[in-house]
């Protein structure tokens, strides 16, 4: 089939030439233009007040912040005590920032429609090459963008969810003095993410990969005047770098052995690779190292919870819907490699499953609402990797899409909550933590729309039918189960363990994670929206729904979370068109998926399928019931008065002390080596002392010798002369 694709590509101009797809380059360029404009606006207004951290916990800054001038709290609060003071260029920035995203989305939709209209005919991916970027000897890398079914899905998700989040940010960041800078960075991020998903070869994708890492750093540390935020940004960037190293090594291996880095050329070169061989396994493992960094899997997930220091829309966009899914996209894009390396695929599955469970356990005991969602993201990413690792590529991508919907909704919803809490605390000048769930409670009464939408998202993520999460999660679990029964993976040994054991074990881990997901999400809803309100007497009067600029995108996401499952209904429930997404992605990943399942689609008997579905639903229900019955929101006290945890709860609350372990094992030795060996030893001792000062000392010494020789003493000259004669005569004599 690949040969046919190649022939179709070579034979005639692509069916998409001359259509709107010609304007593909506009899609990433629009956000880039937004970045330039907003960045210029930000530079022109750089003398305005600097950024500050919005969380009420840091509001006990010097009184300058309380003077009533625009002090950034991360949200507009048109209090009667305090009018909304917006940035000078807020109007243009809001318009430009959102418009470029909406236009990008519309253009992507048009291109998608064009592509869909020619569906059915065998056609190769549509590649637009702009210029020869890196011609270096044997290596020929072009700046090229590619459209195929997979990148179109990602394109729509990125631009669509991105547009919604930009609209939300218009309201959320209203009073921030760094308003244009925020939109500039956000637009830049979308540009890089689009380069990542549209890239036609690994280097272009890597440009996007690095770029989103950069923007993540910039946006996490958006309120960098607080050291904790800047540190979180640095942590994200550095941990990502470790993953980038893996990506690079994989690229080097690919080039050294296959001579090309272009997706289509590599796919054509797969017959040259030894299936299951060391080379392709190494390439895939290094690629997965990159994914572990970018998509926060064990052991490189530690940056994601800290990344919650950034503004909440950033957390929604970058750390839920798009950037962290880049790793999943990478594996789906490299399907032809992973299909040849069952050991690597099994590794992906195992680490994904372990991460899912590990993060879910931590999420059970977090009190900051954003941290709960962060660990939930890590856990759900684990699910996606279980999907793409086991060869169910379309299932993994399906969960990616639905997760983008409901996780963005959850984050934006929590943003509305935090916004309301801030407004309340600001009015009373309280310094309590606006993000701590122990300070919330009963918000359902004050924010009904947000309340409803958050419940929709919670049910979706817990896998309750008929919401979207149920379909995607169930498909992954069913896929793993089916492949555990019969597939190439089941036949492979992973570290000596038979593959089917591994896959069954991962299935069980997946169920456990689903259970815990239901528990902690219900816990979050209980503590936030149900029960008595713990915010305080006076603050209560200020709790209200967020403005419609923020609630509107929430509604859209709510609809998508509720009905998104329609994208890929299983054959089991013929309520509508079956398997849309799977059929859509089949031309791209179908061949590799079949390679892993011995050439035919994995079959499960209907009864077995019903049993699996029933198990999944039952698990979700049990989880919700456990949380509902055993957790008492009325037993909570506000954060300031809460007791510290004890025992295993404390271990969970401190995230298994992983950060402390990394600090002891890696960070401190690096500091100490840098300080003692590299700085004192090499820099001061060797370079400054020996080379710089040493060469000066040497010159002085040579000069001293010279001056000693030029003593003006005839006696010395006579000596030298005689010694010279001695030497010459001696040479003659000895000859």
Q: Name the residue nearer to another protein (CB basis): 690 or 709.
A: 709
Peptide bond into 299 cis (omega under 30): yes
CB-wise, 673 or 711, nearer to another protein? 711
Alpha helices in 486-605 (DSSP H): 488-491, 499-529, 537-540, 548-563, 580-596
251 close to 203: Cβ distance less than 8 angstroms: yes
| Least separation in angstroms between CB 710 and another protein | 3
User: What count of other Cβ atoms lies within 10 Å of the Cβ of residue 640?
Assistant: 12
CB of 698 to another protein, least distance (A): 19
CB closer to another protein, 634 vs 711: 711
Minimum CB–partner distance for residue 722 and another protein (Å): 6
- Nearer residue to another protein within complex by CB, 605 or 733: 733
Q: Which is nearer to another protein, 599 or 712 (CB)?
A: 712
| φ, ψ of residue 652 in degrees (nearest 5) | -65, -45
Q: How far, in Å, CA of 705 to CA of 699, rounded?
A: 10
Q: Which lies closer to another protein via its Cβ, residue 84 or residue 723?
A: 723
| C-beta of residue 195 within 8 angstroms of C-beta of residue 208 | yes
Q: How far is the CB of 697 from another protein (least distance, A)?
A: 20
Site string for another protein, 83-112 (x = CB under 8 A): ------------------------------
Tokens of 715: 């006696």
Print the SS3 string covering 674-708. HHHHHHHHHHHHHHHHHHHHHHHHHHHHHHHHHHH
733 binding another protein? (CB under 8 A): yes
Q: Is 723 in the site for another protein (CB under 8 A)?
A: yes
Which are the contacts of 667, defined by CB distance < 8 A and separation ≥ 6?
A: none
Of 471-479, 571-579, 656-664, 725-733, the segment contacting another protein by CB under 8 A is: 725-733
In the complex, least distance from residue 705 CB atom to another protein, rounded to whole angstroms = 11
Q: Is the omega angle on the peptide bond into residue 466 within 30 degrees of 0, that is, cis?
A: yes
* Closer by beta carbon to another protein, 574 or else 715: 715
Report residue 221 CA to chain centroid gap: 15
Nearest distance, CB of residue 717 and another protein, angstroms: 9
Q: How far is the CA of 230 from the CAs of 372, 436, 524, 654, 667, in angstroms?
A: 21, 21, 28, 21, 17
Among 541, 598, 722, 724, contact with another protein (rule: CB under 8 A):
722
Each residue 678-717 as x (binds another protein by CB under 8 A) or -, in order, gives ----------------------------xx-xxxxxxx--
From candidates 610, 694, 719, 724, binder to another protein by CB under 8 A: 719
Element counts in the chain: helices (H) and strands (E): 29, 4
Query: Does 729 interact with another protein (rule: CB under 8 A)?
Result: yes
Task: Give whichever of 495 and 714 is closer to another protein, judged by the CB atom.
Answer: 714
Nearer to another protein by Cβ, of 67 and 707: the residue is 707
d(CA 388, CA 403): 15
Provide, rounded to whole angstroms, the least separation between the CB of residue 136 and another protein: 56
- Binding mask 642-671 toward another protein (x if CB under 8 A, else -) reads ------------------------------
Element housing 128 (H / E): strand 126-136
Under the rule (CB under 8 A), what is the footprint of another protein?
A: 706-707, 709-715, 718-719, 722-723, 725-726, 729-730, 732-733
């Amino acid at each position: 089939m690949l040969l046919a694709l190649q022939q179709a590509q070579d034979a005639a101009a692509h069916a998409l030439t001359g259509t709107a797809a010609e304007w593909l380059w506009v899609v990433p360029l629009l956000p880039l233009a937004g970045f330039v404009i907003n960045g210029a606006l930000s530079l022109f207004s750089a003398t305005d007040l600097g950024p500050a951290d919005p969380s009420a916990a840091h509001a006990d800054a010097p009184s300058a912040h309380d003077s009533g001038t625009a002090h950034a709290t991360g949200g507009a609060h048109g209090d009667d005590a305090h009018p909304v003071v917006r940035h000078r260029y807020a109007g243009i920035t809001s318009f430009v920032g959102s418009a470029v995203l909406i236009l990008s989305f519309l253009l992507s939709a048009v291109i998608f429609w064009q592509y869909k209209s020619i569906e059915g005919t065998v056609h190769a991916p549509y590649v637009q090459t702009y210029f020869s970027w890196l011609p270096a000897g044997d290596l020929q890398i072009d700046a090229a963008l590619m459209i195929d079914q997979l990148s179109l899905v990602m394109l729509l998700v990125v631009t669509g969810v991105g547009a919604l989040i930009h609209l939300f940010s218009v309201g959320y960041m209203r009073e921030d003095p760094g308003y244009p800078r925020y939109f500039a960075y956000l637009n830049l991020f979308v540009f890089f993410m689009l380069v990542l998903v549209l890239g036609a070869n690994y280097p272009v994708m890597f440009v996007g990969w690095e770029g989103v890492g950069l923007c993540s750093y910039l946006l996490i540390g958006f309120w960098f005047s607080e050291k904790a935020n800047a540190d979180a940004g640095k942590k994200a960037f550095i941990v990502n770098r470790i993953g980038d190293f893996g990506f690079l090594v994989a690229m080097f291996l690919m080039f050294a052995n296959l001579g090309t880095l272009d997706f289509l050329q590599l796919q054509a070169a797969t017959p040259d690779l030894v299936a299951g061989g060391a080379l392709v396994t190494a390439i895939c493992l290094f690629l997965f190292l990159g994914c572990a960094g970018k998509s926060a899997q064990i052991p490189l997930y530690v940056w994601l919870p800290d990344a919650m220091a950034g503004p909440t829309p950033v957390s929604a966009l970058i750390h839920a819907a798009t950037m962290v899914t880049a790793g999943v996209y990478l594996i789906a894009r490299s399907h032809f490699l992973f299909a040849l390396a069952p050991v690597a695929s099994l590794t992906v599955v195992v680490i994904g499953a372990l991460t899912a469970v590990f993060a879910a356990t931590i999420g059970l005991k977090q009190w900051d609402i954003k941290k709960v969602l962060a660990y939930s993201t890590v856990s759900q990413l684990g699910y996606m990797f279980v999907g793409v690792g086991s060869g169910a590529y379309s299932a993994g991508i399906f969960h990616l899409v639905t997760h983008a919907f409901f996780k963005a909704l959850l984050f934006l919803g929590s943003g509305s909550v935090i916004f309301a809490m801030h407004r309340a605390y600001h009015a009373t000048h309280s310094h309590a933590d606006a993000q701590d769930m122990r300070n919330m409670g009963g918000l359902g009464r004050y924010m009904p729309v947000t309340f409803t939408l958050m419940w929709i998202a919670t049910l979706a993520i817990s896998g309750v039918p008929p919401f979207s999460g149920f379909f995607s999660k169930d498909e992954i679990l069913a896929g793993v189960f089916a492949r555990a029964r019969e597939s190439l993976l089941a036949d492979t040994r992973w570290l000596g363990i038979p593959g089917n054991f591994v896959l069954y074990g991962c299935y069980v881990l997946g169920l456990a994670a689903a259970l815990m997901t239901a528990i902690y999400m219900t816990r979050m809803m209980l503590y936030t929206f149900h029960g008595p309100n713990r915010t305080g007497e006076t603050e209560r009067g200020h709790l209200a729904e967020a403005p419609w600029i923020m609630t509107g995108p929430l509604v859209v996401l709510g609809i998508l979370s509720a009905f998104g499952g329609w994208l890929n209904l299983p054959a089991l429930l013929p309520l509508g068109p079956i398997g849309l997404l799977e059929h859509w992605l089949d031309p791209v990943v179908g061949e590799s998926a079949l390679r892993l399942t011995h050439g035919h689609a994995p079959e499960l008997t209907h009864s077995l399928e019903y049993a699996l579905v029933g198990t999944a639903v039952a698990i979700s229900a049990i989880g919700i019931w456990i949380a509902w019955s055993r957790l008492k929101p009325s037993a909570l006290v506000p954060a300031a008065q809460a007791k510290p945890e004890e025992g295993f709860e404390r271990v969970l609350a401190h995230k298994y002390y992983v950060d402390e372990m990394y600090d002891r094992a890696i960070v401190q030795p690096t500091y100490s080596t840098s300080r003692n060996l590299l700085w004192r030893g090499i820099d001061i001792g060797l370079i400054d002392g020996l080379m710089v000062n040493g060469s000066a000392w040497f010159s002085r010494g040579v000069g001293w010798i010279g001056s000693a020789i030029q003593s003006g003493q005839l006696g010395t000259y006579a000596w030298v002369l005689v010694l010279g004669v001695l030497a010459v005569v001696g040479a003659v004599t000895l000859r």
